[in-house]
Amino acid sequence: MGTNGAAGLLLTFARRGEDATIRQAVSRLRSEGAASVIGVGTPVSAPALSGIGLGELILYGEGRSASAVVHEMRRRRPAMAAIVYSGAGYAGHLKLEALALLSGARRVQRIAPAGSSAIGRASLAAIVLAKGLCACGCAAVGAAICTVAFVCLTLRQITAGGSRASRP
């Protein structure tokens, strides 16, 4: 089932050692019928992505808002998106998964060094939601720990003579 000449979207952080996986993703997009492959990466990943024959590169970062990147991706109406994972599984990469979901691509392929798998939009949305909630939970726990530490230090300062107590 090809993309009928539509654009394919490559989402990657282009870390060291991902060259083979990135080339596999580009090859997959082209074999699925993508007329052109549009890469989405950061300014740091741009050098690694420039030599793989992309039709275009959308940079994320350096003052460029996420909404501008999403608007630019959606304007190109990609039929398929490929997310490149650096590890053996599909852990991490919440930002790339969210971008794939927001791109409007009808099909999403997850490509890791150990293999690849297609994922439906509903499943991807559930993963993005779960990872987002987990990140919020971690931030809340961190904030609670910092608050408890602040309260303990403040109480210790008060019991030691207040804010005007001399230091030894």
Q: What is the CATH number of the domain that holds 90?
A: 3.40.50.2000
Q: Examine residue 146 and state whether it is found in any structural domain, yes or no.
A: no
pLDDT for 47 equals 81
Q: Is 75 contained in some domain?
A: yes
Range of the domain at 17: 7-119
Look at residue 123 in the predicted model and tell me its pLDDT.
92
pLDDT of residue 35: 81
pLDDT at site 55: 80
CA distances from 87 to 15, 24, 168 (A): 11, 15, 51
Q: What is the pLDDT of residue 1?
A: 44
Q: Classify residue 13: in a domain, yes or no.
A: yes
- Decide if 100 is inside a domain: yes
The pLDDT value recorded for residue 111 is 86
> Sign of the CA dihedral 76, 82, 86, 89?
positive
Over its length of 168 residues, how does the chain's per-residue pLDDT go in tens digits? 444 567 888 888 877 777 788 888 888 888 887 888 888 888 888 888 887 878 888 888 777 788 888 898 888 888 899 888 877 667 778 888 998 999 988 889 888 887 888 898 899 999 999 999 999 999 999 999 999 999 999 998 888 876 555 555
**Alpha-carbon torsion angle 126, 132, 136, 137, nearest 10:** 50
Chain center to CA of 41:
9
Sign, Cα dihedral of 57, 75, 27, 127: positive
Asked whether residue 129 is domain-assigned, the answer is no
Residue 164 lies in a domain: no
Three-class secondary structure assignment of the chain: CCCCCCEEEEECCCCCCCHHHHHHHHHHHHHCCCCEEEEEECCCCHHHHHCCCCCEEEECCCCCCHHHHHHHHHHCCCCEEEEECCCCCCCCCHHHHHHHHHHCCCEEEEEECCEEEEECHHHHHHHHHHHHHHHHHHHHHHHHHHHHHHHHHHHHHHHCCCCCCCCC
In a domain, 50, yes or no: yes
Within-domain flag for 140: no
> Hey, what are 55's tokens?
């039709």
Give how many domains the chain has, as a whole number. Answer: 1
